[in-house]
Amino acid sequence: MTDPVEVTIDSLGAKGDGLAHHQGKSLYIPYVLEGETVRVSPRGERAELEEIVMSSPDRTEPICPLFERCGGCALQHMARAPYHGWKSALVADALASRGLDAALEPLTGTEPGGRRRAVLAARLIGRRLLFGYHEAKSPRIVDVNHCPVLVPELSALLPRLADFLPLFMTKKGEAKVTLLATDSGIDVSLDHVKDMRGGQDYLKAVELAEELDLARLSANGEILLERRPPQISMGRALVSPPPAAFTQADKGAEDAMAEMVTTAIGPDAKRVIDLFCGSGTFALRLAENAPVWALEGDEAAIKALEKAWRFAPNLKGIKMERRDLFRRPVLAMEMKKFDALVFDPPRAGARAQAEEIAKSDVATVVAVSCNPGTMARDLRILVDGGYRLESVTPVDQFLFSPHVECVAVLRK
């Protein structure tokens, strides 16, 4: 066991940990701020915080008593203005690492109590249920009976749901619990749980959904009961996403990004492409003004988009295509008749697709990303292909985490 040592925090890393140096070695320390003097116990490259000797003026009181135990948040101890500055710097540094010079717009922030989607873990230890988030960098689960980051209806559901989860649990492994607050109620999707089809367990599950007033309850990808279709508004359309499907985690962040995308593309676009379209976050809004070609690899998401489009009023046509854009990107020649494009890939980015866009003559391209590093790589490809990077806007969709969303606008 190494004795505690006193160090000064030089900077914050990309994951939100403080970086300090001791005896020529780097130490990464959670829950500290730049400039603070702290006492820590080294554990290899990491160190456990023992005491704050001299605190930063940027330090503030966390809003959750579980902070530092629960791994759901990393930065509740940082005041709003420097926190926004740090997140913006993550984007600026990623762009600079690729030699990109862009006008970085002010970060679009979100507020506590605004997150409508959460993924939690559950495990039975004997007869005891653990239900909550993992500890930081640990498989251990911290019991969570409320969460101030979530919308109030999700936070209020947590202790009530914990009473019923043992019904679904197996003695082995860990269950995944995906919660989504929709316009018509809460959607609960359970994965890695017992087969609930038929028998008394199914009847008990139905009783659970009734008692908790859930819109929908699913287990292992199968819908057990849909009392009301879970619906999310996307412009004029109402989308019912598949169980546990990707949705933007914060409605305020989604609305802000959608406004950026539609404004950048403008009302005069004649034909638009939406790549990695999901269930229609941007496609349904863009179709209010122009026909859209929407492509996505997930079949269930495409079906949800199609249903939403069919029942939405006064939308232009949306041509929907299921395609694995990593294996078969849309080619430059396929883009000839389009004058605007948006792409929103997973964290891995879309190198192959960006290479094809760079060869095209599409006048306006909007890139949306949840990973500044891969976004900067893909933007470099586009700039090298003749695009001008007009602006980049960071969006703090995942409050108090090191993740940051971005919207970048490019013109040919």
Catalytic residue positions, numbered: 370
CA distance 370 to 179: 20
CA distance 83 to 62: 13
- Torsion angles phi and psi, residue 258, rounded to 5: -65, -40
Helices 372-384 & 351-359, crossing angle to 10 degrees?
Answer: 20
Question: DSSP labels for 43-95?
Answer: ETTEEEEEEEEE--TTB---S-TTBTTBTT-S-TTB-HHHHHHHHHHHHHHHH
Of 405, 355, 406, 346, which Cα lies nearest the Cα of 378?
Answer: 355
Residue with tokens 């005041």: 79
Of 13, 132, 153, which Cα lies nearest the Cα of 71?
Answer: 132
CA distance 159 to 103: 45
Residue 250 exposure: Cα atoms within 13 Å on the Cβ side: 22
Do 232 and 183 meet the contact criterion of CB atoms below 8 Å apart? Answer: yes
